[in-house]
Amino acid sequence: MSHFPKPFYKKARGVWYVEINRRQINLGPDKAEAFRHYHQLMGQSREQHVAPESLAAIIDPFLEWTQNRAPDTYEWYRY
């Protein structure tokens, strides 16, 4: 089962937040506007949600680099 981040309300601050990649994003105090912003964030492409320190951020440039090597080398690393 996948985990999808869900908005939550911080009563002490009076603001809605969502946590994506261990980062809390302020969605604002208005619930309707907060959920609109949340849906907008969740609709963005996956690449925009990849944390810079994530494995994908390391592997993708490496795979690009291996494309300059023998085709079998690239395919081996890709799989």
User: Is residue 55 exposed (0-12), middle (13-18) or buried (19+ Cβ within 10 Å)?
Assistant: exposed
pLDDT in tens, 17-64: 999 878 899 999 999 999 999 998 888 745 555 566 678 778 888 888
Range of the domain at 63: 51-79
Check whether residue 38 and residue 61 sit in a common domain.
Answer: no
13 shares a domain with 28: yes
Regarding whether 55 and 39 lie in a shared domain, the answer is: no
29 in the same domain as 3: yes
Indicate yes or no: pTM above 0.85.
no
Cα separation, 49 vs 45, in Å, equals 7
Is there a single domain that holds both residue 36 and residue 55? no
Report pLDDT digits (tens) over 53-71: 678 778 888 888 888 888 8
Judgement on whether residues 20 and 58 belong to the same structural domain of the protein: no
